[in-house]
Chains A and B, each alone.
Chain A
Amino acid sequence: MKKINWDLNNISWKDITPGGIVEVPGSASDTITGEWRSDKPIWDKDKCKQCLICFPVCPDSSINVSEGKMVGIDYDHCKGCGICANQCPFGAIEMVREG
């Protein structure tokens, strides 16, 4: 089986899968979309009460949760939409300009 070549510009028609079959399904996490972000959420651990409202509202599954607790933000996939900051009842997430 061929390895996925992410360089979209240089793939011959002879080297792609027939009918566009995706041989590695569920591979969205391999694509880094965090680069699209212009505003970045900053999590303040001290203000956080672990209510976990941020987790279900995140459209990109970028709230990292471990053993039932919010532990940080996945910046590889967070696109900076700011929903988490907007929804947090305790002001524990703040949006700042990237760069």
Chain B
Amino acid sequence: MGKRDRLSGNEAVAVAMRQINPDVVAAFPITPSTEVPQYFAAFANDGLVDTEFVPVESEHSAMSACIGAEAAGARTMTATSANGLAYMWEMLYIAASSRLPIVLAAVNRALSGPINIHNDHSDTMGARDSGWVQLYGETNQEAYDNFIMAVKIAEHPDVCLPVMDCYDGFITSHSVEVIELLDDQDVKNFVGEYKPKAYLNNPNGKVSMGPLDMPAYYFEHKRQQAEAMKNAKRVILEVSEEFYKLTGRKYGLFEEYKMEDAEVAIVLLNSTAGTAKAVVDELRSKGVKAGLIKIRVFRPFPVDEIVAALKGLKAVAVMDKADGFNGAGGPLFTDITSALYGKADVKVINYIYGLGGRDVRTDDIEVVYDELLKIAETGSVKSVYNYLGIKE
């Protein structure tokens, strides 16, 4: 059975990495993800893993090394944040389009500038169209669990896509909390042995990878990649079900918190969901029918499931910890409203919040629910695109 422990999010993910015992880890340090390769390098140095640890000179090289290693047939992982993720940019696309199931701990931090080391989601939101599966987690536990599941989702023959395990910098990465760890052997059995179909170091079937793709084929390969992303939705649910049987911890495409009879709801990602749950509890104790949806799987986006969950609500607030700079709303808001288009008539407003580590308190979340209740009562929306906790 599992072991109760207290770890920071980064420690927990490094432990997951040790338990998975990947073939290659290539990484370059950047706050707040640095601790992941740092702890892991110690594991490697102490002989607790068989991994080839590759300390590279930049994130571009880190992802390049991961691509090379994964293409050679090695189970490969890395970690980064913010500008490190941005510096991996072109390689992220190459990893995804080459269908290489690399796993990346993406410790969310504001993308400069102005330069800032604190948490928001501008880094991974920027990578949302790169072709990576993106899982988001509220707590150390979820960051750890998602990391283990990520391996299996990524390597599934119907997927073969890289996966980002996204969790909040500092709030989750550096905060010590209670966590339930799996036994090493259970993790090993769960992820199994990596058996890629085609890989460069296969002596029985030499292949070439990463070829020039002319107009005659390129589009078809992109279509294939899109299909893999669609398949990922089913595979994520299958892997999560298997994980549930092992641990008793249930994961879906998103978490519905007190949504059964909810009239108003907030939709958001990561650690702020926990703070918002405390507000939902408080409102419920006063008889207010408030609920919450925490997106776990952002790529692929659970379009139909979200429509079903939001249909019939009187008012919904989508909270984005990254601005879209399209003059109209954040990235999660855009996806939610486009999912609802033509399928459900729900009043949806958007709040940009917590940029650059602006702390989000229960009081802030109360402001959002108050606004939703006003909309539910009057049926009119004052403003769609809003900023929460900004100094006016």
A residues near B (Cβ < 8 Å) are: 1, 8-9, 11-14, 16-23, 25-26
Q: Which residues of B contact A20 (CB under 8 A)?
A: 98, 209-211, 213, 217, 221
Q: Which residues of A contact B198 (CB under 8 A)?
A: 17, 21, 23
Q: A20-B211, A20-B213, A21-B208 are in contact. Are A11 and B97 (CB under 8 A)?
A: no
Query: Which residues of chain B (117-170) have a CB below 8 Å from chain A?
Result: 160
**Is B208's CB under 8 angstroms from A13's CB?**
no
**Is B209's CB under 8 angstroms from A16's CB?**
no
**Is B206's CB under 8 angstroms from A8's CB?**
no
Chain A minimum-CB-distance residue to B157:
A18
Chain A minimum-CB-distance residue to B219:
A13
CB distance from A4 to the nearest CB of B (A): 12
**Is B216's CB under 8 angstroms from A9's CB?**
yes
Q: Which residues of B contact A14 (CB under 8 A)?
A: 224
Q: How far does the alpha carbon of A47 sit from the alpha carbon of B220 in the complex, in Å?
A: 52
Q: Which residues of B contact A22 (CB under 8 A)?
A: 207-209, 211
Identify the interface centre among A8, A16, A21, A25: most chain B CB within 10 Å of its CB.
A21
CB distance from A41 to the nearest CB of B (A): 29
Q: How far does the alpha carbon of A17 sit from the alpha carbon of B207 in the complex, in Å?
A: 11
B99 at the A interface (CB under 8 A) = yes
Q: A8-B216, A9-B216, A21-B198 are in contact. Are A16 and B207 (CB under 8 A)?
A: no
| 20 residue pairs from A and B, CB less than 8 Å apart | A8-B216, A13-B219, A14-B224, A16-B224, A17-B198, A18-B99, A18-B160, A18-B221, A19-B97, A19-B99, A19-B100, A19-B160, A19-B210, A20-B98, A20-B209, A20-B211, A21-B207, A21-B209, A25-B208, A26-B208
Query: Which residues of chain B (78-107) have a CB below 8 Å from chain A?
Result: 97-100
Chain B minimum-CB-distance residue to A18:
B99
**Is A23's CB under 8 angstroms from B217's CB?**
no
Chain B minimum-CB-distance residue to A16:
B220
Q: Which residues of A contact B213 (CB under 8 A)?
A: 20
B205 at the A interface (CB under 8 A) = yes
**Is B211's CB under 8 angstroms from A13's CB?**
no
Query: Chain B interface: which size bin?
Result: 20 to 34
CB distance from B161 to the nearest CB of A (A): 10
CB distance from A14 to the nearest CB of B (A): 8
Q: How far does the alpha carbon of A11 sit from the alpha carbon of B223 in the complex, in Å?
A: 13
Q: Which residues of B contact A23 (CB under 8 A)?
A: 198, 205, 207
CB distance from B366 to the nearest CB of A (A): 48
CB distance from A75 to the nearest CB of B (A): 26
Q: A19-B97, A19-B98, A20-B213 are in contact. Are A13 and B221 (CB under 8 A)?
A: yes
Q: Which residues of A contact B209 (CB under 8 A)?
A: 19-22
CB distance from A5 to the nearest CB of B (A): 11
Q: Of B100, B211, B220, which is within 8 A of A11 by CB?
A: B220
Chain B minimum-CB-distance residue to A9:
B216
Q: How far does the alpha carbon of A1 sit from the alpha carbon of B207 in the complex, in Å?
A: 12
Q: How far does the alpha carbon of A8 sit from the alpha carbon of B216 in the complex, in Å?
A: 6
CB distance from B163 to the nearest CB of A (A): 16
Chain A minimum-CB-distance residue to B226:
A13
Identify the interface centre among A12, A13, A23, A25: most chain B CB within 10 Å of its CB.
A13
**Is B217's CB under 8 angstroms from A8's CB?**
yes
Q: How far does the alpha carbon of A23 sit from the alpha carbon of B224 in the complex, in Å?
A: 17
Q: Which residues of B contact A16 (CB under 8 A)?
A: 217, 220-221, 224
CB distance from B198 to the nearest CB of A (A): 5
CB distance from A47 to the nearest CB of B (A): 40
Closest 10 CB pairs of A and B: A13-B220, A22-B208, A19-B99, A25-B208, A13-B223, A8-B216, A19-B98, A18-B99, A20-B211, A20-B213
Q: Which residues of B contact A12 (CB under 8 A)?
A: 220
Q: How far does the alpha carbon of A13 sit from the alpha carbon of B227 in the complex, in Å?
A: 10
Q: How far does the alpha carbon of A53 sit from the alpha carbon of B169 in the complex, in Å?
A: 64
Q: How far does the alpha carbon of A58 sit from the alpha carbon of B209 in the complex, in Å?
A: 27
**Is A25's CB under 8 angstroms from B221's CB?**
no
Chain A minimum-CB-distance residue to B224:
A13
Identify the interface centre among A1, A9, A17, A19: most chain B CB within 10 Å of its CB.
A19
